[in-house]
Every structure is written in structure tokens, then in C-alpha cells.
Amino acid sequence: MAANLKSVTALCTVLAVVILLFRGGAAAVEDETEFHGDYSKLSGIIIPGFASTQLRAWSMLDCPYTPLDFNPLDLVWLDTTKLLSAVNCWFKCMVLDPYNQTDHPECKSRPDSGLSAITELDPGYITGPLSTVWKEWLKWCVEFGIEANAIVAVPYDWRLSPTKLEERDLYFHKLKLTFETALKLRGGPSIVFAHSMGNNVFRYFLEWLRLEIAPKHYLEWLDQHIHAYFAVGAPLLGSVEAIKSTLSGVTFGLPISEVLNWLVINQHMWGTARLLSNSFASSLWLMPFSKNCQGDNTFWTHFSGGAAKKDKRVYHCTDEEYQSNYSGWPTNIINIEIPSTNSRDAYASVTEAVQANMTTMECGLPTLLSFTARELADGSLFKAIKDYDPDSKRMLHQLKKLYHDDPVMNPLTPWERPPIKNVFCIYGAHLKTEVGYYFAPSGKPYPDNWIITDIIYETEGSLVSRSGTVVDGNAGPITGDETVPYHSLSWCKNWLGPKVNITMAPQPEHDGSDVHVELNVEHEHGSDIIANMTKAPRVKYITFYEDSESITGKRTAVWELDKTNHRNIVRSPVLMRELWLQMWHDIQPGAKSKFVTKAKRGPLRDADCYWDYGKACCAWQEYCEYRYSFGDVHLGQSCRLRNTSANMLLQYI
């Protein structure tokens, strides 16, 4: 709990400084990238990730054999009690029709609204701490004096594809109004914090907005309403866990999610968690795709009168796609055994046509098929197994209708830098991350007809299987964040300019002796840029890649945090400290550089001070002092920031 409070304090400090502490900021002046004005006018817009918004019932559903019925506004996602005790009813309230994304006839659910929708998914004495997202953070924000209208959550139904979000809920219209309301209410632009799939939502919003606003006013609207965009843990080229969920089910990455695997015993009613997951079209939104393939430019198609396209291809790929291995990813993402013709009893949907296509197989032996990211995004995988798996037809329908034929954009295409003045891309790295899978027939009926026989992980310098065997592939020196591979997270390095300043500094407070800097490093677009610096053992670092030369009027930075998990990065106190210092630096009229200095990091909060038992005094004497308050139960609690510590912030200009 102490660790949670510490990290929550740090996060709130960011918004406290940005929104509250600088009420008397410098008078507004014209600047290409900075907002010199009253920072109390800024708003924080939070876009949560996948499965990070509460869903509530909007139906009355009588559940037989249990007193736990569903009534309007009852919690559905996530109510562990009803999931375990009334699983069939709970399933009806969660599942969607895989073809048209409508609700079950007997029950429907809708996303909750406001900050309460993203603070704690399953409130309760036991389940609450396990499902807390922003609850403790919100408590500390109140203690810091943040005004209630300064922080805005924009929850959404994370089960839907982007086009359905707009069609059913007018979500992107409402999001546009949220930015405009924040500007009118508080008088300043907003800072966008998006985590995980929330970044996909924000990207789609920017493209939707391009069609909604007259082209000559589009950039003007962005500059007026959005000061900075912090993309945290963004799956910029997709995540391999998404395709794993389509074949074997998904656990949603929550501590209590293993319960979903228990649903297999109810397969006579609804099937496993796989059936539930594949009813959500949003599962495909996180599908891996190739960096070398682009879709048609929907924006110009709209303004050309929608003329018929001569080329009907879903993707247009460069020569590099066919000359390189694995679509640029570390390895083939899916390797799946197609059953032999002798296995027809377990796969009743196998047709005579399929038998004809398998005449070259060795009798009785399965065939191993491998698929790259491009072959996942264009549907080749689902086409290859459609005669063995009933879900493939549904997935192909979703892929074509809701993604390839999306009227705004094909979301399964590489990102370009958002046209926002200040962009910060932040992610964890150097953790063992899944990058590929081997599937085989399980011998069980659908939906449990596939099992994972092996998993390929990226480790630093090599790819290894679940058993520890080294696997051939494109292994890199850096790995992902346990959920999203490095190849996808680091795509935003392409947004950096031709020259980059690289700084590697320890994550904890430091005196600057272990800070490494390389200035004006040449950066070629499309190629990775890696810090070639020596790290001390057992020390976690944060590596900053910051524009030395950038697009005029734009500022871009990439932050890599060592050993920081995808799901916990938004609670990282180190991340929040750096956000706060960068924002504080930006408002200073005498700032000497575009980015805050990394030369030294001292304590910024009372929680950062501690007792040094070796020296029998508070550590960081320059910043901290011993100051007992009634109720302190140990020496460290009595170590607090000196009253003059605020003046020490001047060193970060």
C-alpha cells in the first residue's frame, strides 16, 4: 500500500503542478511548441486502455438458481461475485453478436461515465485492491487541491471497434465536445494521457476529426485544444497477445482474470473465454501488422468523390516487406498445425475441397503453417484455418467490415507522428515478452480445439522458446514490456528528427555521476536508434531520446523505462516525476533548452526523503531534513523536504 501511495502521489504531483501550482504563470506569448500562460487553465484528459472501464447493465435479467439478478446500473465489468455465481447471466450481459456487434437479446451493458468508471473496476474489500486503476490516485488529487473539473476521464465501451463506437455511442463526437468544453470551461488547452489501447482510440479520433473539420481549420483546432500528447505503452504496430486471444481466449491482464478460464465448464451454454473475446471486435484492433504495408488514403478518397478504386488490394506493401523476414518482426507470430484428413471426426467442418488441397501432405501427418504480421492483418491466417475453426468466418467478417473497409481509416496500418505540437512516447522495456506462438489441434471440440504447444519470447540478444531453447529470428538488444513487443512500442522512434540527443540516467534520485549523454546522434528514418552506453549492474535506468533537430514547431521525445511493466507503467513514480519536471520546465520563460535537464535528480516530495541508517541522518541533506510530526512511527517518516526545496527546482530550467 505504501508503494501504491508513493506512486499515486507522484502522478498527482504532475497534474498538481501543471494545473494548480502555476496559477500565476508568465503572461501568454507566442511560441511554436510551448504554452506560456496560466497553467491553472489546463485540463487533463485521460483515455484508459483495454478492459479498463466499468460496464454497467442496462437491462433487467432474472438469473435462475441464484438470488443475484441483474438490474439497470448493476456492475457487470467487473463484478467477480456475479461472474462466479451467475456466470450464464453475466455472460449474456457481456457478449456481443460477432457479426453486427449488438447486445444479447436478454441483456445489454454500457460503459459507466466519469472518473469513477476508471478508478476501481470491482469495488470491494478483497477485489478492490486487485482491480484498482486510478482510485488511490484520485484520493491524492483531492488532497492536492485539484479542482474537480480539471481532470476529465473519457471512458468507452472497449468491446467495440472504432466505427461502432461512433455509430452506437457517438463517442468521437462526444470526445470532440469534451475538448471544446474543457477549453471553454478552463480557458486553456488539454494534455492527453492515453494508455495502451487508449492510444489507438486517440489515433482514430484524430483521423475522424480530419474528416469532421474543414481541412484548413484542422491543425488550428488541434493547436487550440491540445497542448501535449503523452502516449504511454502504445501498441503502435499491434500486440501478439491479441492474436493469441482469438485462438485460445484472453485473460484481459487482470489479477483476477484467471477466473475467465474457469468458464470452460459452461461450454454447453456459451463456450470459453475465447468465445467471449472473439465476440468483441476490439480484439482485432490490437492485431499485429507490418510496418511496410499501407492501406488506401481514406482522407483523399473522401475528397475525390469516392471514385472506384482500380486496385482492390487491402494493403500496398513496399519491396522491403517481401525482401525481409517476418514483416520486420522478430519471428513468425503464428505457427499452427493443420490437422490431417484422418482427423475429420474432431473437425466436422472439413470439406472435400480441403481434402483436395491436402493431397500433397504425407498421409496422417499434420502440416505446420507459419504466418507473419502482414498475413495476420490481411486475414490470411483466418482464411487458412476457416475449414477447421468456426470462429474464422466471424473473424474474417469483422476484419473486413470493421477494419479494412472502415470509412475513416484502416487502423491496422503504421502510425505517422500525430500532428500535435508536443508528443511524448513512453514505454517500458527490457522485460521478457511474448513474440510468437505454436498452436496445434487439441482433440477437443470447438471452442477449445486449439492448444498452445510453445511460446517464443524475446530476450535481450536472442529469442527463446518456453523450454529455453534458442530460436532463429530477428533478435534485438532491447525487449518489450511483458505485453507489447519492443518492435511495436519503439515504432515512435520514427517520429524523431534527423538528429537526436540521447541521455541515460538512473531512475532513482541521483547526483548525476552515472548520467550518460550523446548529442546530435544521426538518426535515419525507418531505422532503430539505440543508446550504446554502459549500465551499472542492478540499476534501473530511463533513457531519453529527444529531438536535436525536429519538424518546425514540433517537439518529440521517446522515454524508455527499464524493467517497467506494461500494466503498471501509469503508476510509476519515476514516470510521474519526469512528467512533472518536464511540464515545470516548459513554463519557465528562462528555459535554456527544449527539454528539462537530466543532470541531477533530487527528492521532490516528502515521500522521497528517507533515513540513512549508515550516517544516522536523513539522506539527501541538501533537500531533506529531520522534522518530527505527531504520529510518525519511524525515522524515515520524519524525514521531510526542507522549506527551501522549492528554490532548488531552478536547477532544472
- What does each C-alpha distance from 406 to 97, 166, 395, 401 come to in angstroms? 19, 12, 15, 7
Q: Exactly one of 131, 196, 239, 550 is catalytic; which is it?
A: 196
Task: Return d(Cα 518, Cα 502) in angstroms, integer.
Answer: 5
Asked if residue 393 lies in contact with residue 379, where contact means CB atoms within 8 angstroms, the answer is: no
Q: Which residues pair with 625 in a beta bridge?
A: 640
Q: Exactly one of 525, 527, 593, 632 is catalytic; which is it?
A: 525
Give the other-Cβ count within 10 Å of 632's Cβ.
13
Sign, CA dihedral 370-372-373-377, equals: negative
DSSP helix/strand/coil, 56: strand
Alpha helix (H) residue ranges in 341-388 = 352-357, 373-377, 380-385
Residue 383 in grid coordinates: 482464411
Q: Exactly one of 481, 547, 562, 608 is catalytic; which is it?
A: 481
| Phi then psi dihedrals of residue 245, to 5 deg | -70, -30
For residues 299, 304, 308 and 309, what is the CA-based torsion angle, rounded to 10 degrees?
-50
Asked if residue 556 lies in contact with residue 423, where contact means CB atoms within 8 angstroms, the answer is: yes
- What does each C-alpha distance from 151 to 169, 225, 554 come to in angstroms? 22, 15, 25
User: DSSP readout, 253-310?
Assistant: T-TTGGGGGGGGGGTTTT--HHHHHHH-GGGGGG----TTEE---HHHHHHTT-PPPS
Asked if residue 288 lies in contact with residue 240, where contact means CB atoms within 8 angstroms, the answer is: yes
| 525 catalytic per annotation | yes
Q: Which residues pair with 547 in a beta bridge?
A: 500
| 481 catalytic per annotation | yes
Residues belonging to the active site: 196, 481, 525
